[in-house]
Amino acid sequence: MLNLFVILFGVLILLLSVGLGIVMPISRTAAAVSRGRDDRAVPRSHLVRGVVGSILGFAVLVIGISGPFVEVPAGNVGVATNFGQVQVGTLQPGLHVIMPIVQQVVNVDTRVQPHQFQEIDAASKELQTVKLTGTMNYHIDGQFASDLYQRVGTDFAAKIIDPAFNDFIKTVVPDYSVNDILAKRDEIRSLAKTQLAANLSQYHIVVDDIYIANIAFSDAFQGAIEDKQVAQQQVQTEQQILAQKQIQAQQAVAAAQGQADANVTLAKGQAQATIQLANGQAQANATLNASLSDKILQYQYIQKLSDKISVMLLPSGNGTIFDLKSLLGQTAPSPSPSAAP
């Protein structure tokens, strides 16, 4: 931005110097000559100022184009080179003045940056194909950015980070079975962080953290896992159905047992009620039989005689004409003959 301002400033000086110091005086002289006043010459001082101003403006323009001012943004350091040779040390964020044409500055980002790993194929302990992808957060040690730039360049991610992670995955994954790879995901991530940090530290790259984004297997093995999961789901479903049927059968048995117990209890109650009723009736009959005397029987007999009978002759020696028990509902022998009125 500052270099652009210098360029604009140089262009402005150049235009003003040429216009006011050279063009305008010459044009005025030419106009005076055309009017017949050829005795008026161009002032030498004007021309000198115009030429000097033009030279100064051109110089400022050249300086602006060469870019002597360099701004290192925040979160970066500048690596200076003299005709391509990397200089020791780095430029801190801010404005710096360098020698135009001779020196160049390359900005190196020292902030934490994510790097996506490409999909890596490895083999598990069972020689099953495992595909892993991940992300690494890292940053550059700014004090040694010039050494990293000199040894590797700015494309260090593709040159050293990817190969290091690829080598780690192919070395560590074969120590784990398929089930362990999924179960010990955090352990693999921790090992990757430790080993990559040790490997990349020689290039002054600091590993902040590593994340394993995805773990996949071959299509055939993935299909076998899915089929196994489907079969397990079917077994669990069948077990649930069987458990429901067992519960329903137990409920039916419990209901039948309850109904049978209820029927037995009802039958016992009815038998006890019948026995109690029979005992009560027997006691009532016994009490009734005990209360029947001859006088009561005679009175009952007289009450049952017809209202039309007015005189009765009884044979001597008999207290009754008929058997009183037959009149009360029992069968008795025919009465003896007697005189009628």
The CATH number of whichever domain residue 152 belongs to comes to: 3.30.479.30
Q: What is the pLDDT of residue 139?
A: 92
At residue 117, the 3 state secondary structure works out as: coil
Please check the confidence at residue 71 and state whether its pLDDT lies above 70.
Answer: yes
54: in domain: yes
The mean pLDDT of 190-199, rounded to a whole number, is: 87
Count the neighbouring beta carbons within 10 Å of the beta carbon of residue 326: 14
For residue 72 the two structure tokens come to 């290192």
Whether 209 and 225 map to the same domain: the answer is no
Q: Is 96 part of any domain?
A: no
CA distance linking residue 252 with residue 244, whole number of Å: 12
User: Final residue of a domain: which of 168, 184, 217?
Assistant: 217
User: What is residue 184's three-state secondary structure?
Assistant: coil
**Interatomic CA distance for residues 253 and 259, integer angstroms:** 10
Instruction: Give pLDDT tens digits for 287-332.
Output: 767 776 666 666 666 666 655 555 555 555 555 555 555 555 544 4
Instruction: Specify if 94 maps to a domain.
Output: no
Q: pLDDT tier at 111 (50, 70, 90 boundaries)? A: very high
Same-domain check for residues 208 and 243 = no
- Tell whether 160 and 245 lie within a shared domain: no
Name every residue whose Cβ is closer than 8 Å to that of residue 47 and which is 6 or more positions away in sequence: 21, 22, 25
Q: Are residues 161 and 196 in the same domain?
A: yes
Q: How many domains does the chain fold into?
A: 3
* Closest residue by Cα to residue 110 from 136, 148, 81: 148
Residue-number span of the structural domain to which 300 is assigned: 220-311
Domain annotation covers residue 289: yes
